[in-house]
Structure 1
Amino acid sequence: MRADIVFLNGEVITVNALNEIAEGVAVKDNKIVAVGSNKEIKTYIGENTEVVDLTGKSLLPGFIDAHLHLTIYGTNLLGVSCLAPHINSLHDLFGDLKKRADITEKGEWIRAWGFNEHSLADKRFPTREELDEITRDHPIVITRMCNHISVVNSKALEMAGIHEETPDPDGGIIERDSQGKLTGKLIENAHMELFHVASFSDEELQKAHKLASDTFIQHGITSIHDAGGYGNGPDILRVMQKGVQSGDIKVRVYAMIGSLTDSEGFIEKMLDAGAVTGLGDDKFKIGPAKLFTDGSSTGPTIATREPYSSDANNYGIKYYEQDKLNEILGKAHKNGFQITAHAQGDRAVEMVINCIEEAVKNHPREDHRHRIEHAGVTPPDLQARMRRLNVIPIPNPAFIHVNGDSYIHNYGERVNSMYPAKDYLNHSIIAAFASDSPVVGCDPLLGIHAAVNRKTADGQAAGTNQCIEVMDAIRAYTYNGAYASFDEDIKGSIEVGKLADMVVLERSILQAKKEHIIDLKVELTMVDGEVLYRKETKVSS
């Protein structure tokens, strides 16, 4: 056999059962056909074989991000970025919003994303009145970085049918001032429900999905577990499938049946249609049924068993009571779905564990691989229950780097059991890493860096008892992600017969100083045996 492409002289991190390091890999069509020494791999070289000399650089399995938001990431790129370098104040942001309004047809939405009040000189949210001064002809929505809170103008409130007498939705708050006047700030489910009217067209979604996929490929991400977007879930799923079929979406997609707007209704529609987890192929597959149980770790709105360290009266927000959670996800489990839920606080994590325990007791199933998205604050008693039930947590190590300072402020010593990667290893709990992008950047190397170092961007230690080794972090971003989607037999490691999804780094990750992992860059990304990205040059079929 002659290979289409071979890699030689590399640090091939196989992530196989023995964590073996090889020198080279041979690829034929879309599969890995050989892994071994340079001498072994050279026998696969023919006159038409492309030979890549890695010169000691790391070759890894393609990164698998086990929880991000493809649609939100892409649609954000269509809007006004609050993260633009020149935006240091609300005045700066208002200027960009006014420019966007000037070129946008009246009645169309003006959207901004990535807002963080703490990063601006004003240290506050804009008011409804300030946004009204920008435009009364366009609805404006500014979404906070956590994607759980937004602030809108009067036109947006009008279009959403929200007025002074509108009651708070379950699991949400329509903020009012001391006189009962709407401030424009929408929290949790009030924010989510806004997108019943602030949804995107099919054309916008198609463009957004391509933009997001291209960005993920550049970061070495070859598979994603999509955690849903704003708007009608079935519509987004349909457009996403079409994007995979057309080739606009080049990453492999494991699509959760969940939406930031109406997860419960989405799950019901899929149950009625008879679809279950696993339907699809290696390019696009239906994933778990997913609900929200609490809020944002930086809001802060997560549901905790003890009050916040920063507020003795705050225990966060719950979206569901236990019985309702059990009913919705229990039905999905009974009908064959893998089930999961967004749960950040220990109260919410406990509720999801209770739900999984009840579902499995009532309808036993071998190898269910039920998950908990984020599992933010997860102390030892909850870890023990997760282990007994074989639950897969999906932690976000990059959150420690980006948000660690606020975690210490709001949760105190509980930071030592937030996204507890070391504890998971010690308890043989398989945890799959994820970015939750666009909440933070999608770069897996940032997540690996954070898991290894457990320090904030300012260098403050944030639960260093949970530091893990580089190889363990790589496994959590590759093989464990494949396991969490029942795909470990076809991807997640560099082994003969598996799909040729691989990534080359600009130098050795195992030889790099731990504190410098964050500086590493992706040099090449391969999906299905095709090189889709080379540093500075994108390659498309």
Structure 2
Amino acid sequence: MLLIKNANVITLSPTRPRAEAILIEDGRIKAVGSMAEVSLLAPKSAELLDLQGKTVLPGFTECHMHPILYAFFLLNLDLNGMRSMQELLGCMRSKAAEAAPDQWLMGLRFNEEGITEQRLPTMAELDAAAPQHPTLVLRYCGHLAIANSPALALAGISHDTPNPHGGEIERDSSGKLTGVLRETAISLVTDQIPPPDFEAFMQAGERTFAQLASYGITSVHGILQTSDAGPSGKLGYLEISALKALHDKIPQRLNLMIMATEASQIEELRASELHDPAPDSMCKVGPWKIICDGSLGGHSAVMFKPYSDAPNMTGIKLWTDDELERMIREAHFKGMQLAVHCIGDRMLHIVLEILAKAIADSPPRDHRHRIEHASVAPPELVRRAKELGLIMSVQPPFIYSERSWVHKRLGERISSLYPFHSFLEEGLTMCGGSDAPVESAEPLLGIYSAVNRLGVAPEQAISIEDAIRMYTTHAAYAAFEESVKGTIETGKLADLVVLSGDPLSTPPERLRDLSVEMTLVGGKVIFSR
């Protein structure tokens, strides 16, 4: 047994919101209460953990991330801190000088809005920086990339190559390639990149989950590809095998969201070693994940009206309506949970109408279908989502990273962006994630962003407790796990996070000053500062 004492326990349970001690046995909470109450139940042989007043919360759940892609990103250049085009190109030149001839160069998480010039690099600039190396720079959203001439040549892309379905190969007014690729067109290039060295990847995978543990994350709703239909391109075929190889080294509990085109792909995984439906499972196969449109940053989220700073663009649909309806209906009628990516308002409208028909045409059930992102959601769509009993799976770190430029993208539509307060006011369940590696996976950053809003539709700010619940109680509900996770109560899993201070009494602007001191899964410490 483990006795946690001298703690400030925030249980998030309405029956006993606060406590001082927790007794853990066989991975579960045996008792929670005052020091006097819990000490009476602890044998003398119990291991003691004196937290000296630190705060304990239910462990955080990361509700939307790409774990294998995260590991792959760790093996490549992170360009998120670039401040000028000169710095970016200098970084690419230095990497090219170190690399063997013809070796691929990949720069990831580039944000043109964060550099002085506020523009993308040109194909000519990348050619000059790495003339002998195929090079790809991926915008941080993952929905837009810039390739140099060697990379385009290896991909067989020329001025007369047609756009792939659900993607765009950008050309200038004279029809010449610019090097810019959007959505599925990116895979034409990434498909040419060889898989990483196995040992290097395994090390990156272990680092990925160690980082998550340091953020207080005890459960992960992780997105995996089963084919080349997704951000990893043909490398997506390897994601399931990669996770199987890493499985025994992952300390968090996994709820896998599977990108698929057929229900049989998910059924096959549910018959594999990756699916354990037991309440204390370390890995289970959960929703069918479908990506429908792009991103606001790449002007590819599907909007009713053109972007305010790109009046000729309204986004890119990755599926036809018929294809989308076929998948949604198949999942719903087979009793599967859906997790559907919708960022633009028009895309959300299309998906809600398809879901409404599927739900109306079937017997009532507790489907808990999820809308992933739900970024631009005007009031009428918020009400429609409530009518359909949907869960809104949101990524508050987007507020932090987009705050300097998203106003010019959307104009007056900014009031409908990440409308967290409206979701809760309407009575929707809202769980929180990050879309890592696109954004930082730190739940404390997400909580800070959801509470402070940083000038992005400030009227949509939510309370600190509501923000914490996105990563705890509501996250558990979103995975049908509310009986074992989300609150600190007797009988539930001993998945806990220890913070340096009490978030509920911390000024909102100081929430980022809190630190994760310890993370426990099943009563075992997986991170300690």
State the TM-score, normalizing by the size of structure 2: 0.92
Confirm or deny that 1:177 pairs with 2:177.
no
Which residue pairs with 1:453 in the alignment?
452
Spell out, residue by residue over 1:115-146, the C-alpha distance to the aligned partner (whole angstroms, 9 max, x if none): 01121233222222222233344321111111
- Matched residue count: 517
Distance 2:91 2:32 in 1: 52
Which residue pairs with 1:412 in the alignment?
411
Q: Is the 1:375–1:419 Cα contact (8 Å) retained in structure 2?
A: yes
Confirm or deny that 1:21 pairs with 2:12.
no
Partner of 1:405, secondary structure, is coil
CA shift for structure 1 position 65: 1.1
Distance 1:268 1:331 in 2: 7
Aligned AA for 1:211? R
Higher mean displacement: 34-43 or 11-20? 11-20
Distance 1:208 1:511 in 2: 37
CA shift for structure 1 position 276: 8.4
Does the C-alpha gap of structure 1 residues 435 and 364 become closer, same or farther in structure 2, counting only changes over 3 Å? Answer: same
Confirm or deny that 1:208 pairs with 2:209.
no
124, 128, 131: which one aligns with 2:123 = 128
Which residue pairs with 2:232 in the alignment?
230
Which residue pairs with 1:143 in the alignment?
138
Which residue pairs with 2:4 in the alignment?
7
Superposed counterparts of 1:51-130, under 5 Å: 51-84=48-81, 87-130=82-125
Does the C-alpha gap of structure 1 residues 143 and 269 become closer, same or farther in structure 2, counting only changes over 3 Å? Answer: farther
Distance 1:237 1:364 in 2: 33
Question: Which consecutive unaligned segments of at least 5 residues does structure 1 have?
Answer: 456-460, 536-541
Distance 1:481 1:109 in 2: 39
CA shift for structure 1 position 114: 1.3
Does the C-alpha gap of structure 1 residues 521 and 274 become closer, same or farther in structure 2, counting only changes over 3 Å? Answer: closer
Which residue pairs with 1:350 in the alignment?
349
Does the C-alpha gap of structure 1 residues 128 and 313 become closer, same or farther in structure 2, counting only changes over 3 Å? Answer: closer
Spell out, residue by residue over 1:137-183, the C-alpha distance to the aligned partner (whole angstroms, 9 max, x if none): 43211111111111112222122221111111122111112222212
Which residue pairs with 1:221 in the alignment?
217
Spell out, residue by residue over 1:431-470, the C-alpha distance to the aligned partner (whole angstroms, 9 max, x if none): 1011112222111111111111211xxxxx2222222111
Q: Is the 1:62–1:221 Cα contact (8 Å) retained in structure 2?
A: yes
Distance 2:67 2:115 in 1: 27
Which residue pairs with 2:37 in the alignment?
40
Confirm or deny that 1:242 pairs with 2:241.
no
Q: Is the 1:421–1:468 Cα contact (8 Å) retained in structure 2?
A: yes
Q: Is the 1:24–1:35 Cα contact (8 Å) retained in structure 2?
A: yes
Aligned-residue identity in percent: 36
Does the C-alpha gap of structure 1 residues 37 and 371 become closer, same or farther in structure 2, counting only changes over 3 Å? Answer: same
Higher mean displacement: 368-377 or 138-147? 138-147
Which residue pairs with 2:254 in the alignment?
253
Does the C-alpha gap of structure 1 residues 448 and 156 become closer, same or farther in structure 2, counting only changes over 3 Å? Answer: same
Partner of 2:432, secondary structure, is coil
Which residue pairs with 2:227 in the alignment?
none
Distance 1:49 1:430 in 2: 38
Which residue pairs with 1:538 in the alignment?
none
Q: Is the 1:276–1:286 Cα contact (8 Å) retained in structure 2?
A: no
Q: RMSD between aligned alpha carbons?
A: 2.2
Q: Is the 1:432–1:481 Cα contact (8 Å) retained in structure 2?
A: yes
Moved over 6 A (4+): none
Aligned AA for 1:56? G
Aligned AA for 1:35? V
Does the C-alpha gap of structure 1 residues 497 and 171 become closer, same or farther in structure 2, counting only changes over 3 Å? Answer: same
Aligned AA for 2:245? K
Does the C-alpha gap of structure 1 residues 289 and 234 become closer, same or farther in structure 2, counting only changes over 3 Å? Answer: farther
460, 467, 488: which one aligns with 1:466 = 460
Partner of 2:193, secondary structure, is coil
Which residue pairs with 1:481 in the alignment?
475
Superposed counterparts of 1:279-294, under 5 Å: 279-281=275-277, 282-294=281-293
Spell out, residue by residue over 1:60-95, the C-alpha distance to the aligned partner (whole angstroms, 9 max, x if none): 1111111112122222111111134xx432332233
Spell out, residue by residue over 1:472-510, the C-alpha distance to the aligned partner (whole angstroms, 9 max, x if none): 111111111111111111212211111111000011111
Aligned AA for 1:212? T
Partner of 1:531, secondary structure, is strand
Spell out, residue by residue over 1:22-78, the C-alpha distance to the aligned partner (whole angstroms, 9 max, x if none): 111111231111111111122244444332233332201111111112122222111
Distance 1:504 1:176 in 2: 52
Which residue pairs with 1:539 in the alignment?
none
Q: Is the 1:326–1:358 Cα contact (8 Å) retained in structure 2?
A: no
Does the C-alpha gap of structure 1 residues 401 and 427 become closer, same or farther in structure 2, counting only changes over 3 Å? Answer: same
CA shift for structure 1 position 279: 3.9
Does the C-alpha gap of structure 1 residues 345 and 38 become closer, same or farther in structure 2, counting only changes over 3 Å? Answer: same
Does the C-alpha gap of structure 1 residues 185 and 389 become closer, same or farther in structure 2, counting only changes over 3 Å? Answer: same
Distance 1:359 1:319 in 2: 20
Aligned AA for 2:168? I
CA shift for structure 1 position 199: 5.5
Aligned AA for 2:315? G
Partner of 2:232, secondary structure, is coil
CA shift for structure 1 position 274: 7.3
Aligned AA for 1:50? E
